[in-house]
């Protein structure tokens, strides 16, 4: 059975444009703060004459000062960025009053989810960014959705959402895949995400990982909706394997060749 791709309500709109937020986080195009100094040996050419046909472009705009280019988006303070992420985190952590099941969720994949993950932790966009930007911290990010946009360096495993039991073929497949991705290290952070706080697919996958004995299982409950609402970059299929943090090096072929 192939899990359906759930839909969900949109996350609340942040107070700043997505591009500004991404630039403020250092995720936008990098601008160099170095200023080019003129050579002391440079001399004007005696043959250079202004062209009689040269006209100023009506579209030309003065270039901003290099210090302004390197300082990030104008008018956006760290406090505003923090407030925006705090508002997003409240949406990601909202409590629907749903109790966590004792095992795997065997109902519809789209619907309100618990606010906690037994044996693991819920992580927000703000916390996930901090984790991914830590040097020397290998992190495995698992995309528990069908084809579509993915987080950078995520590896797709929609089959891990399957309901069932902890001794079924899906559990065996996940055990093999995580062993390969973590290289046998049970304390490597494992981040599972799907569509939004109303998506059970990543909850099931994370619960399976907890049962396998992994000690640092993180459920990114806000999922793709929260990531995109924050204006953060995504990839498509193999494009998502581009480096996000230099330390994140998940193994290729996640669960390849094994079908539930």
Domains plus CATH for the chain?
A: 109-241 (3.40.250.10)
Mean pLDDT of 1-26: 46
Q: According to the model, what pLDDT value does residue 79 have?
A: 76
Q: CB burial class (10 A; 0-12, 13-18, 19+) of residue 138?
A: middle
Rounded distance between C-alpha atoms, residue 189 and residue 193, angstroms: 13
Q: In the predicted model, is pLDDT for residue 256 greater than 60?
A: no
Task: Report, as an integer, the average pLDDT of 137-163.
Answer: 96
Token readout for 62 is 């003065």
Shortest CA distance to 151 belongs to which of 69, 228, 95?
228
Say what the pTM is: 0.67
Buried b (16+ CB within 10 A) or exposed e, 58-88: eeeeeeeeeeeeeebbeebeeebbeebbeeb
- Kindly tell me if the per-residue pLDDT of 29 is higher than 70: no
Least Cα distance to 157 among 82, 256, 62 occurs for: 256
Q: Say what percent of the chain tops pLDDT 70.
A: 61
What is the pLDDT at residue 147? Answer: 94
Structure tokens at 204: 């099931």
pLDDT at residue 49, as a whole number: 52
Residue 78 is predicted with a pLDDT of 72
pLDDT digits (tens, 9 = 90+) for 45-69: 444 454 444 444 333 333 333 333 3
């Amino acid at each position: 059975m192939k899990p359906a791709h759930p839909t969900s309500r949109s996350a609340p709109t942040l107070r700043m444009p997505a591009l500004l937020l991404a630039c403020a986080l250092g995720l936008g195009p990098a601008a160099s703060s170095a200023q080019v100094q003129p050579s002391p040996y440079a001399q004007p050419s005696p043959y250079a004459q202004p062209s009689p046909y040269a006209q100023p472009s009506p579209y030309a705009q003065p270039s901003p000062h290099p210090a302004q280019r390197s300082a990030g988006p104008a008018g956006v303070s760290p406090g505003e960025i923090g407030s925006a992420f705090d508002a997003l985190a409240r949406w990601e952590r909202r409590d629907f009053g749903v109790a966590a099941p004792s095992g795997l969720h065997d109902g519809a994949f789209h619907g309100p989810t618990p606010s906690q993950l037994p044996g693991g932790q819920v992580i927000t966009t703000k916390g996930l960014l901090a984790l991914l930007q830590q040097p020397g911290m290998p992190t495995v990010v698992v995309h528990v959705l069908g084809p579509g946009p993915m987080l950078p360096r995520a590896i797709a495993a929609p089959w891990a959402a399957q309901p069932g039991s902890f001794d079924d073929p899906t559990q065996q497949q996940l055990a093999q895949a995580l062993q390969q991705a973590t290289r046998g290290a049970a304390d490597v952070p494992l981040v599972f995400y799907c569509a939004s706080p109303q998506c059970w697919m990543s909850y099931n996958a994370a619960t399976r990982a907890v049962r396998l004995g992994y000690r640092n299982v993180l459920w990114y409950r806000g999922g793709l909706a929260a990531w995109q609402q924050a204006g953060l970059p995504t990839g498509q299929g193999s494009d998502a394997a581009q480096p996000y943090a230099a330390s994140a090096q998940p193994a290729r072929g996640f669960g390849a060749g094994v079908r539930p």
